Amino acid sequence: MSEHFSRTIRGSGPGLLLAHGAGGGVEANFGSILDDLALTHTVVGVDYPGAGKTPRSTEPLVLDDLADELVRAGVESGLDRFAILGYSLGTAVAVRTAVRHPDRVTALVLTAGFAHPDNRLRLALDTWARLLDGDRMVLARYATFAGTGQTYLDSRTAEELDESVRQLAEVIPAGSPEHVALTASVDTRAELATITAPTLVVATTEDGLVVPALSGTLASGIPGAELVGVRSGHGIAVEAPDEWLGVIQDFLAKVG
C-alpha cells in the first residue's frame, strides 16, 4: 500500500515530517507555513488514503500503518532521524510514530491534538460522519461553526464567510469517512508516558472541536512536554499561521 501514498518533499536540512488531520491533507493543513518550514528543514509529508493524490482505501485505516508510512517516506527521502509536526488526528499519528520508532524521532510538535476523543469531540465526529452522506455545503457550514475560533469568525464579513464555506465544501477529501472513523477510535493515553522525545504541545485556545483541555491532557501525559497556547480555532493554519510558525520554529531551534 505504501507506494500509493502521495508525498510532499520540500527544502533541506534536518528532517521534519508532517502528519495531517482528518479530512485534510499536507497542503490543506500545512500549506500556509510549508515554505517557511522548508527554509530550515527537509520537510516530508504524506497524504493519507483518500486525501491529496492518494487513492481512497477500501479498508478501515489503522494508526500503526499511517505511522509506519510516514517513517518510510522520511527514510526513503534520505532522513535517518526527524522531528514530527502533527496536527489534529496527526498528533495521534505522531505519538504512535514516536512509540514505534523511538530511535528515529528527535522531537514532537503536537497541535490541536488529543490522546482520546472526549464526549464533545465524539459527538462532533458522529455528526461529521452523518453529514458526509448529504449536502457538502451543510457539512462545510457545520465544520466552520464547530471549528473556527470566535476571533477569526468576528473578523470576517458575511461575504468572506460564505466564500470560505464554499471553498471548504469543494475540497472535502473522498477519504473523509475513513479519516473520521479512525479519529473516533484513537486512544494513545497509555503510550504518552513512554515518549522520550522533547515535545511541544500547541493548544488552539478558541477551538470548539478539539478543546484546549485535550491538549493539556497530552502535555501532562508526556514527560517534560511543554504546553503553549495560540489564540485560534481548529483551523490554525488559516486563523493564526504566523503565531503557529513562530512557536514551531522557536521550539525546533531550541531542541536542535
pLDDT in tens, 195-220: 999 999 999 999 999 999 999 999 99
**Alpha helix (H) residue ranges in the chain:** 26-37, 63-76, 89-100, 119-131, 136-147, 150-155, 158-170, 176-185, 212-221, 236-239, 241-255
pLDDT in tens, 93-144: 999 999 999 999 999 999 999 999 999 999 999 999 999 999 999 999 999 9
Q: Any idea what DSSP says for residue 81?
A: S
Query: In the chain, what are the domain boundaries?
Result: 2-255
The answer on pLDDT for 2 being more than 90 is no
Query: 230 pLDDT band (50/70/90 cuts)?
Result: very high
Report which residue type is found at 169.
A
CA distance linking residue 25 with residue 164, whole number of Å: 17
Angle at 202 between CA 73 and CA 108, to 5 degrees: 35
CA distance linking residue 235 with residue 4, whole number of Å: 27
Please report where in the chains the cell 480555532 appears, as a residue: 233
6, three cell numbers: 502521495
3-state secondary structure (DSSP) of residue 200: strand
115, three cell numbers: 490522546
Check if the beta carbon of residue 104 is closer than 8 Å to that of residue 96. no
Rounded mean pLDDT, 4-22: 96
Structure confidence at residue 118 (pLDDT): 98
* Residue partners of 15: CB distance under 8 A and separation at least 6: 41, 42, 44, 74, 77, 79, 80, 81, 82, 83, 106
Structure confidence at residue 1 (pLDDT): 43
63, three cell numbers: 494508526
The CATH architecture that domain 2-255 belongs to is: 3-Layer(aba) Sandwich (3.40)
Structure confidence at residue 16 (pLDDT): 98
Rounded mean pLDDT, 161-184: 97
3-state secondary structure (DSSP) of residue 193: helix
The answer on pLDDT for 3 being more than 80 is no
